[in-house]
């Protein structure tokens, strides 16, 4: 092994050790008690079952001594049962107290086993590109790994989701759903959401990595979530479709507005409300900024070498978090 490679390996080992060594009190194992395994059981009749599955697994992060946890919202969407598995071996049921479409985060409440410590909430706003951080999932100490923050940029998800400031890291972490992104002071900076094929947009040689939701997204709306169960930003028009980066439709939600309007996989969205769109973020912003909930909006589609216009009657995005068919 070359000297340079040895130095890099040693640096990674030192970073992980330093990041986990919070202080003499609490010790490493106590610190990790706040990162727990989450399993969610979803009815097969739920609208999200086909795309996200009926059995979901990921991490949830304890952020309050009163039993408050945060996780990626899609893990618990339409869940009938949620169970948390702690390092002590205890299995505890949890309930969703907030499900926020806009941020992509959910809050849970559960009875915490004795000795469980909440993670300190930091702020991702101060994190800089090139900074070394720690990604930790429910598997604990042995699975904790150093990552690098390589990009901060807007992110448009396939299913009507947009983040103004997504945190993208490398190398790839396989168990990213709900995982904790932690700084050197052991503060929570983000929640794992997606694996991404490229951590930098429009860069073909950019490596694959993960996308984390900044914890600031939670901080900004915590009051609303605890009172109303969602943020006001989640009260927005919803089409119920999934599109790729080229605005090709590859899925519609069962019993959703787009399915009712006969929008089909393979349709290409050309315009919304007579305004040309070329990217997902343009589609979403024009929908959210120019359309009222319940209003019908015309979509110009390319289908089988023809242009057709389809009218879609929108519904409240937040309403789709409720499982009416369960």
Mean pLDDT of 230-246: 96
Q: What dotted CATH number matches 120-224?
A: 2.40.10.10
Domain spanning 28-117, CATH class: mainly beta
Query: Residues of the chain with pLDDT > 70: what percent?
Result: 88
Confidence (pLDDT) at 235: 96
Query: Residues of the chain with pLDDT > 90: what percent?
Result: 78
Is residue 202 scored above 70 in pLDDT? no
What's the pLDDT band for 142 if we cut at 50, 70, 90?
A: confident
Architecture of domain 235-321: Roll (2.30)
Confidence (pLDDT) at 45: 92
Beta bridge partners, 35, equal 61
> How many whole angstroms separate alpha carbon 322 and alpha carbon 96?
11
Which long-range contacts link 216-224 to residues 24+ away (Cβ below 8 Å)? 216/123, 216/124, 216/125, 216/165, 217/103, 217/104, 217/105, 217/163, 218/70, 218/103, 218/105, 218/121, 218/191, 219/121, 219/123, 221/100, 221/102, 221/103
Is residue 96 scored above 90 in pLDDT? yes
Mean pLDDT of 283-301: 97
Q: 283 is written with which tokens?
A: 């589609």
Could you say which DSSP state residue 118 is in?
Answer: P
Query: How does pLDDT run across 58-67, given as a tens digit for each residue?
Result: 999 999 999 9
Confidence (pLDDT) at 32: 87
Same fold, 28-117 and 120-224: yes
**Which of 23-32, 102-111, 157-166, 314-323 shows the lowest per-residue confidence on average (mean pLDDT)?**
23-32
> How many whole angstroms separate alpha carbon 140 and alpha carbon 24?
18
pTM of the model: 0.89
E strands of 88-217, at which residues? 91-100, 105-110, 120-121, 132-136, 145-157, 161-170, 180-182, 187-196, 209-214
317 touches 241 (CB < 8 A): no
Confidence (pLDDT) at 58: 98
Select the more confidently predicted residue: 252 or 199. Answer: 252
Confidence (pLDDT) at 87: 87
Domain layout of the chain by residue ranges: 28-117, 120-224, 235-321
Mean pLDDT of 130-154: 92
> Residue 232 contacts by C-beta under 8 Å, 6 or more apart in sequence?
224
What is the residue-averaged pLDDT of the chain?
89
Q: 90 is written with which tokens?
A: 């205890």
Mean pLDDT of 274-287: 97
């Amino acid at each position: 092994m070359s000297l340079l490679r040895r130095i890099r390996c040693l640096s990674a080992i030192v970073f992980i050790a330093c990041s986990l060594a919070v202080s003499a009190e609490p010790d490493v194992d106590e610190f990790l008690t706040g990162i727990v395994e989450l399993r969610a059981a979803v009815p097969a009749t739920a609208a999200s079952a086909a795309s996200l599955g009926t059995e979901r697994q990921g991490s949830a992060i304890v952020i309050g001594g009163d039993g408050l946890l945060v996780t990626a919202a899609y893990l618990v969407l339409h869940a009938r049962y949620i169970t948390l598995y702690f390092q002590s071996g205890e299995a505890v049921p949890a309930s969703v107290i907030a499900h926020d479409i806009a941020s992509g985060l959910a809050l849970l409440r559960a009875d915490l086993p004795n000795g469980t410590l909440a993670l300190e909430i930091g702020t991702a706003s101060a994190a800089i590109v090139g900074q070394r951080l720690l990604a930790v999932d429910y598997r604990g100490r042995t699975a904790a790994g150093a990552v690098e923050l390589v990009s901060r940029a807007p992110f448009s998800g396939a299913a009507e989701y947009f983040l103004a400031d997504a945190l993208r890291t490398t190398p790839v972490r396989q168990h990213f759903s709900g995982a904790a992104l932690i700084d050197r002071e052991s503060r929570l900076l983000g929640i794992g959401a997606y694996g991404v094929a490229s951590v930098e947009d429009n860069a073909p040689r950019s490596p694959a990595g993960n996308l984390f939701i900044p914890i600031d997204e939670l901080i900004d709306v915590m009051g609303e979530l605890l009172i109303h169960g969602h943020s006001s930003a989640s009260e927005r028009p919803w089409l119920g479709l999934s599109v790729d980066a080229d605005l090709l439709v590859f899925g519609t939600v069962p019993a959703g507005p787009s399915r009712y309007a006969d929008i089909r996989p393979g349709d290409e969205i050309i315009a919304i409300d007579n305004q040309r769109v070329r990217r997902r973020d343009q589609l979403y912003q024009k929908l959210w900024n120019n359309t009222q909930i319940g209003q019908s909006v015309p979509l110009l589609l390319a289908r089988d070498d023809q242009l057709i216009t389809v009218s879609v009657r929108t519904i409240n995005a937040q309403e789709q978090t409720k499982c009416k068919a369960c």
